[in-house]
Amino acid sequence: MDPSRYLPRTLPRSLKGLDELAVDLRWNWNHSADALWNEVDPELWADTGDPWLILESVSSERLAELATEPGFLAHLQEQLAERRRYLTQPTWFSEAHGADDPGCIAYFSMEFGLSEALPIYSGGLGILAGDHLKTCSDLGVPVVGVGLLYQQGYFRQALGDDGSQMEFFPYNAPTMLPALPVQAPGGGWLYLDLPLPGRELRLRAWQAQVGRLTLYLLDSNDLANAPRDRGITGELYGGGPRMRLLQEMVLGIGGWRLLEALGLGCTVCHLNEGHAAFAVLERARHFMAQHEVSFLEALAATRAGNVFTTHTPVAAGFDRFPPELIRRHLSGYAGELGITMEQLFALGRATSDDEFNMAWLAVRGSGRVNGVSRLHGAVSRRIFQPLFPRWPEIEVPVDHVTNGVHMPTWDSAAADTLWTEACGKARWLGTLDTLERDFRRVSDERLWHFRNASRAHMVESLHARLRRQCATHGGSLKAINECSRLLDPDTLTLGFARRFAAYKRPTLLLHDRARLRRLLEDKARPLQLVIAGKAHPADQPGRRLIQEWVQFTRDPALQGAVVFLEDYDMALAAELVQGVDVWLNTPRRPWEASGTSGMKVLVNGGLNLSELDGWWAEAYEDSNEGWALGDGEEHGDDPDWDAHEAEALYRLLEETVVPAFYRRNAKGIPEQWVACMRESLARLSPRFSANRMVCEYLERCYLPAAQEFRRRSAEGAALARDLARWQRDLDVHWRQLRFESVRAEAERTEYHFLVDIHLGEMPSTAIQVELYADARPGIAGERDVMIGGPPDPLTKRATYDLRLPIRRPVTDYTPRIISCHPAAIVPLEAAHILWAW
């Protein structure tokens, strides 16, 4: 698509290609063209950093001037050539997996945090999605994104005179966003129709360029729709259950229809949280039409190609909808699927009394399910246990792929220079095998100079931000000027910035204010705090926590040693993670699924001081790369434990963190601090980069999912039909199964187990008989398959036999029957299980 046709003017011929640079969001992480845009409009570039907005806003006279400036034109050609190289050069994927060809991979998410220029995100989920797309672009992984284009996006924050949060919802004018209309094959704008009760919803399609990849966005704000329906894509996470349901229908059903309309033929569908779970149904519906199969047969085929990533650490966090709301909006759709409403409800419920749960639908419609950290994987197995009754929690089919961050987005210019010196410019474009070794060669002097320069640059940037903040609050000229004295560039700086919610305990540091004041007011070893974050508009406790911090910062006695920065967004987050010395994180374990803000400081030489939760629970090994809070156990919302951890936090700051920062050698370098920096930079940065994350998704999820989907789809979906028959046999005949006898004898060094099973009409090939033993201290758990003889045709009885070496008490073993098919994903596709006792 030619982006110039959507500009308000025609570019001079010599500026051809400037629009291509502007509309490609790669400028968000590839900063080689920054100087080019600064030359176009220095003031607007400094204020927005948004090339597309600059190109929309700059005068024709200025463009005419640039069209005749040899230096600018030469720079433009350099950038166009660099972009061509990026788009055409071999990638890690093409070289390592080119022969695998998974086809197109669709990545669905309710929000994408790519840039402030495209404000369609609220927080960590969106930032993760944006980093995922950027990394796939860098590595050449064939992904397309699918989301919604919100007219307002998430709210913007300001602070009231009393420190309370105020919300504002500025309009996202589509023409000012770096997203262009998707053209239909025959020309004109591509439209999609989505049936709603008594009407058709007309959806517009947009596309944003993310380097090599495309992000497709759907929008209901079309004149053909009723006013109420035009607002479906109005506000991210806005409205009540009805509005949320409609948004998720647009995302999942409309999103898959868009992919089909574009002819992309995606083999893998990755659901980033359960919001997009309706894509499971729509994908099956299209498969039904293509292969003339039933819904259950289509689901058996397409399920294998679906990947579900859950980010929710508590079951209450999943989207649920009342049955009547589902019935009202999806009864006609169920008819299109050829199923009853009760069959549809069964996909989103654990029991018939439950509301319709989008995460349940995602699990039942996916071949792979994962959490976003090792700890969160374990938590998720507990959360999803109701879907797999009588299965041991350890066997609930939830794996984990720990989150990572797109390092080129979050590293500062100084960090980029340092890493380039140590590891080369292409360090994040492929494998990370040598990064740790190469980075360890950086000297103490170089690391400490880098850290001081980064902190000083952040303080300078925050001074400008604080002056603007003061001015918008009506501050006097004197007050505005005094903002430049609020933070010191040489002082140890802690950062705390994230969504304000009670479980994150953002005011833990305020537990003993007198003790905190002593840390902040220490003239010999001072400490300063930078705080930012939003609370959801409906979260009143979170709003009060913001107010507590804001009021604390206004104490004149603190002399600007602590500041609260309003309107936390990607731009502010980048400033903070690039400059703070220590990133503080204090959630209640295990309520943070992963968290990624602390990962972003790694590449910039910041250190983490965090609860042993989320990603830090697997990153932290010892105090050589940061500091840990907590004992690695769960304590709920016990206020006594909060007080205990607050005490531990103060003691850690007083006795360890602050002294380490100010303890200098003869060269003025804090050797222990720099040693921690080196460990964190070298060991943790590669490990928690999105490169590692995307490689894991590709090799453990996408490639096998694509292969399995193709296998089930081949030969008229023969394997999918067979799997559906197997599932029907299980449902019909499972209740006929029973254990008739269990015998176990010790014979010298081994046990001999004999189990008699009454099969009824159940084919013996449809089940598997096992001996199961739980893990015990020092002894691993066991699953041992028993060997069955031919069933007696009259009694329907079969005997199963197994000999095992004696290594634990015989009473540890319990026989059980589970469903079995050589191509099935058990228990995701069949959770049938019968225990002998």
**pLDDT at position 175:** 84
Element (H, E) at 551: helix 540-553
**pLDDT at position 420:** 95
Cα→Cα distances 614→379, 585, 620, 657, 750, Å: 10, 10, 11, 22, 43
User: Residues 190-215: what's their mean pLDDT?
Assistant: 96
**pLDDT at position 729:** 95
How many Å apart are CA 518 and CA 499, to the nearest integer?
A: 27
Cα→Cα distances 144→108, 368, 447, 666, 737, Å: 9, 19, 38, 54, 46
How many Å apart are CA 473 and CA 159, to the nearest integer?
A: 9
Structure token pair of residue 97: 């997996």
How many Å apart are CA 577 and CA 588, to the nearest integer?
A: 22
Question: Is residue 549 predicted with pLDDT exceeding 80?
Answer: yes
How many Å apart are CA 608 and CA 763, to the nearest integer?
A: 56
Half-sphere exposure of 373 (CA within 13 A, CB side): 25
User: Residues 541-552: what's their mean pLDDT?
Assistant: 96
How many Å apart are CA 682 and CA 664, to the nearest integer?
A: 22
Pairing of strands 750-758, 797-805: antiparallel
Burial class for 377, CB neighbours closer than 10 Å (0-12, 13-18, 19+): buried
| HEC profile of 310-357 | CCCCCHHHCCEECHHHHHHHHHHHHHHHCCCHHHHHHHCCCCCCCCEE
Query: pLDDT tens digit string along 460-506?
Result: 999 999 999 999 999 999 999 999 999 999 999 999 999 999 999 99
User: Residues 542-569: what's their mean pLDDT?
Assistant: 94
Can you tell me whether residue 601 is helix, strand or coil? Answer: helix
R_g of the chain computed on alpha carbons:
29
Same fold, 441-680 and 737-835: no
User: Residues 446-455: what's their mean pLDDT?
Assistant: 98
Contacts 24+ apart (CB under 8 A), 94-100: 94/140, 97/698, 97/699, 97/703, 100/703
Handedness of CA 216, 221, 225, 231 (dihedral sign): positive
User: Residues 653-659: what's their mean pLDDT?
Assistant: 98
Can you tell me whether residue 269 is helix, strand or coil? Answer: strand
Burial 315-329 (b: 16+ CB within 10 A, else e): bebbbbbebebbeeb
Query: pLDDT tens digit string along 604-628?
Result: 999 999 999 999 999 999 888 999 9
Can you tell me whether residue 652 is helix, strand or coil? Answer: helix
Taking the C-alpha atoms of 107, 108, 114 and 118 in order, what is their torsion angle to the nearest 10 degrees? Answer: 140
Confidence band (pLDDT; 50, 70, 90) for 665? very high
Domain boundaries, the chain: 3-88, 92-403+698-714, 441-680, 737-835
**pLDDT at position 187:** 83
Q: Which among 707, 113, 832, 618 has a CA at the least distance from the CA of 368? A: 707
User: Residues 225-233: what's their mean pLDDT?
Assistant: 95
Domain covering 737-835, topology: Immunoglobulin-like (2.60.40)
**pLDDT at position 1:** 66
User: Residues 185-197: what's their mean pLDDT?
Assistant: 91
C-alpha angle 130-133-134 in degrees, rounded to nearest 5: 85
Q: Which among 134, 142, 132 has a CA at the least distance from the CA of 100? A: 142
Question: Is residue 173 predicted with pLDDT exceeding 90?
Answer: no
User: Residues 781-797: what's their mean pLDDT?
Assistant: 95
Query: pLDDT tens digit string along 49-61?
Result: 999 999 999 999 9
User: Residues 819-837: what's their mean pLDDT?
Assistant: 97
Q: Are 729 and 821 in contact (CB under 8 A)?
A: no
Q: Which CATH architecture has domain 92-403+698-714?
A: 3-Layer(aba) Sandwich (3.40)
Torsions phi, psi for 443 (to 5 deg): -75, 160
Q: Round the average pLDDT of the chain to a whole number and report it.
A: 95
The model's pTM is 0.96
Confidence band (pLDDT; 50, 70, 90) for 279? very high
**pLDDT at position 296:** 97
Residue 206's DSSP bridge partners are 181, 217
Domain 441-680 has CATH 3.40.50.2000: yes
Residue with tokens 């994150």: 504
**pLDDT at position 591:** 94
Element (H, E) at 603: none
Q: Are 592 and 572 in contact (CB under 8 A)?
A: no
User: Residues 662-689: what's their mean pLDDT?
Assistant: 97
Element (H, E) at 164: none
Question: Is residue 414 predicted with pLDDT exceeding 80?
Answer: yes
How many Å apart are CA 581 and CA 576, to the nearest integer?
A: 10
C-alpha angle 16-21-26 in degrees, rounded to nearest 5: 165
Residues in the chain: 837
How many Å apart are CA 190 and CA 261, to the nearest integer?
A: 9
